[in-house]
């Protein structure tokens, strides 16, 4: 006989999935958005920087310095210095007002783009971030995201999921399907106006649904630790729900990417079939044998040796390369590589420290800056665009916070705790930006909707702290009786 929790889970997911298919069917009848015609004569052109003319000794010196300063390597070093400095300053400032450092880094990325730097100093902006110099920056950002996802995979605590599997699945899946349904429904009204020209309705709607559904698991964990509620009943439940949400959302995103990159349903099914085979290979062969390949002495060392790190990086690179070759994205392979790392003797914790030291300080700020270069707040020029942006933020918050809180309340949590859990699940942060960049690179999201969704990711992440304060005080530490109750 099914329990009430199982019935609730089946009812919520069934209604949401049927609604998503109904909206996709209705949206399939819409005509694609027209390609705007822009005259070459009226199209904005970036200011060109020309080398100084030759002449005296001082002119020759200026020419030499100019040529050396505009070389690919010099420009890359200049970009990295400016990005890291801006990220550190912004991160330190927002920490003082109770926000996680990642919020400041996200803001710094936007400010370094055309929304502020390009607006106030267009000449300097185009010198530092010249279009021809952005490809190395993009590759750096992709490497940073892959290393970040590798660390996320290592931080997943499977044993905690087993203890709270019922609550975690019901709440996390409700917090996915409800905002997903609202997202694809919203796509009916935004598709013709804001989709990238030539994008299909199905791809646009599925990406908009994903953007409403993601929870930033690493950011959530850091918020819990900063507020000293990581080891409370709320913190334990939120961590388990966010972990399940993370795995589920990225699995759905892999399927959506397979659909977007394939020309027909058969191609998408083939791609997803390869993904399943690769996941099975990683979990059934690589994971149980990796401790033996690395060797017990290597796992017990206080710090992983060079050979051990080489093997680990080899697994990450091959895994990321395989998923990129299959056609879903390299970050999925990096994430999966993190989940198969051995956990004995605290090996994962040792690796996480080393990976995060390089990715969080150097590579992730590059990703934020590259995202900021794509974000043009000036494109939202009239009141109508800002109303749409506010609607997107409202729908995302109602769907994620409301869906999570409703499911938590029905499963037995009190109202205040349910709302706090919903506020935590509404945190999007970096994970949202990763998904949005994928949609932009695939030609599904236009620059306007991309900008709106970046603003939504930033606002919903900033909201988390104030909402937690609004909904109640910090809970006492998690007790064994509390754990039995929430399981």
Residue 165: its pLDDT value, please?
A: 64
Residue 162: its pLDDT value, please?
A: 58
Residue 321: its pLDDT value, please?
A: 92
For the domain 69-486, what is the CATH code?
1.20.1530.20
Q: What are phi and psi of 89, to 5 degrees?
A: -65, -50
Tokens at 81, concatenated: 């210095």
> Virtual CA dihedral for 119, 121, 122, 123, nearest 10 degrees?
180
Q: Are 360 and 78 in contact (CB under 8 A)?
A: no
Residue 487: its pLDDT value, please?
A: 35
Residue 49: its pLDDT value, please?
A: 46
* Residue for token pair 């694809």: 184
Q: Which residues contact 326 (CB under 8 A, 6 or more apart)?
A: 271, 274, 275, 278
For the purposes of burial, counting CB atoms within 10 Å of the CB of 10, is it exposed (0-12), middle (13-18) or buried (19 or more)? exposed
For the purposes of burial, counting CB atoms within 10 Å of the CB of 281, is it exposed (0-12), middle (13-18) or buried (19 or more)? middle
CA separation for the pair 377, 115 (Å, rounded): 5
290-318 residues labelled b (16+ CB within 10 A) or e (exposed): bbeebeeebbeeeebeeebeebbeebbee
CA separation for the pair 357, 375 (Å, rounded): 27
CA separation for the pair 104, 127 (Å, rounded): 24
Quick one: residue 211, left, alpha or beta (phi over 0 = left, psi -120 to 50 = alpha)? alpha
Question: How would you write the pLDDT of the chain (487 residues) with one tens digit per residue?
Answer: 567 778 888 888 889 889 988 998 888 888 888 776 655 444 445 444 444 454 566 777 777 777 776 778 888 888 889 999 998 999 899 888 888 888 888 899 899 988 888 888 988 898 888 888 888 888 888 888 888 888 878 876 665 555 566 677 788 888 888 999 999 999 999 998 899 888 889 889 989 998 898 887 777 877 777 777 777 778 778 877 877 777 787 778 878 887 777 666 676 677 778 888 998 999 899 999 888 888 888 888 887 888 888 888 999 999 999 988 887 778 888 888 988 888 887 888 888 888 877 777 777 888 888 888 888 888 887 788 899 999 999 999 999 999 889 888 888 888 888 999 899 889 887 778 888 888 888 889 998 999 999 999 999 988 888 888 888 754 444 443 443 333 3
Provide DSSP, 163-192. Answer: HTHHHHHHHHHHHHHHHHHHHHHHHHHHHH
Question: pTM here?
Answer: 0.79
Q: Are 413 and 340 in contact (CB under 8 A)?
A: no
For the purposes of burial, counting CB atoms within 10 Å of the CB of 166, is it exposed (0-12), middle (13-18) or buried (19 or more)? middle
Residue 318: its pLDDT value, please?
A: 93
Residue 476: its pLDDT value, please?
A: 45
- Domain boundary assignment for the chain: 69-486
Neighbours of 21 (CB within 10 A): 11
């Amino acid at each position: 006989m099914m329990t009430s929790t199982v019935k609730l889970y089946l009812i919520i997911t069934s209604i949401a999935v049927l609604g998503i298919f109904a909206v996709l069917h209705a949206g399939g009848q819409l005509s694609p958005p027209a390609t705007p015609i822009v005259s070459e004569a009226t199209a904005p052109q970036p200011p060109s920087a020309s080398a100084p003319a030759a002449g005296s000794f001082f002119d020759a010196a200026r020419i030499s310095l100019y040529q050396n300063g505009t070389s690919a390597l010099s420009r890359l070093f200049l970009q990295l210095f400016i990005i890291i400095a801006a990220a550190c300053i912004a991160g330190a400032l927002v920490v003082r007002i109770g926000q996680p450092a990642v919020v400041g880094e996200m803001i710094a990325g936007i400010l370094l783009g055309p929304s502020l730097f390009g607006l106030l100093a267009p000449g300097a902006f185009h010198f530092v971030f010249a279009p021809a110099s952005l490809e190395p920056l993009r590759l750096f950002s992709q490497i940073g995201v892959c290393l970040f996802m590798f660390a996320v995979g290592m931080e997943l605590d499977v044993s905690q999921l087993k203890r709270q599997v019922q609550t975690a699945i019901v709440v996390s899946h409700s917090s996915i399907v409800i905002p997903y349904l609202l997202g694809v429904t919203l796509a009916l009204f935004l598709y013709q106006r804001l989709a990238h020209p030539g994008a299909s309705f199905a791809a646009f709607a599925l990406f908009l649904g994903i953007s409403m559904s993601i929870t930033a698991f690493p950011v959530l964990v850091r918020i819990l630790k900063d507020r000293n509620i990581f080891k409370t009943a709320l913190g334990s439940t939120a961590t388990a729900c966010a972990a399940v949400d993370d795995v589920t959302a990225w699995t759905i995103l892999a399927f959506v990417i397979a659909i977007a990159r394939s020309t027909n349903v058969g191609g998408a099914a083939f791609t997803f079939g390869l993904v399943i085979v690769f996941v099975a290979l990683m979990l059934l062969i690589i994971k149980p044998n990796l401790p033996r390949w690395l060797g017990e002495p290597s796992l017990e060392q206080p710090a992983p040796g060079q050979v051990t790190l080489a093997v680990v990086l080899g697994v990450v690179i091959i895994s990321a390369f395989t998923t990129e070759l299959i056609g879903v994205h390299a970050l999925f392979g990096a994430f999966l590589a993190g989940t198969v790392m051995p956990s004995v003797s605290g090996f994962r914790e040792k690796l996480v420290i080393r990976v995060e030291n390089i990715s969080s300080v150097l590579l992730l700020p590059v990703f934020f800056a590259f995202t900021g270069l794509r974000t043009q707040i000036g494109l939202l020029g009239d009141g109508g665009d800002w109303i749409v942006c506010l609607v997107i933020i409202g729908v995302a918050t109602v769907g994620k916070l409301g869906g999570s809180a409703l499911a938590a309340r029905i499963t037995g949590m009190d109202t205040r705790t349910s709302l706090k859990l919903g506020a935590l699940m509404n945190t999007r942060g970096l994970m949202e930006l990763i998904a949005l960049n994928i949609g932009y690179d695939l030609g599904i999201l236009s620059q306007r909707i991309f900008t709106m969704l970046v603003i939504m990711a930033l606002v919903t992440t900033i909201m988390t702290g104030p909402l937690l304060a609004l909904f109640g005080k910090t809970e006492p530490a998690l007790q064994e009786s509390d754990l039995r109750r929430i399981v």
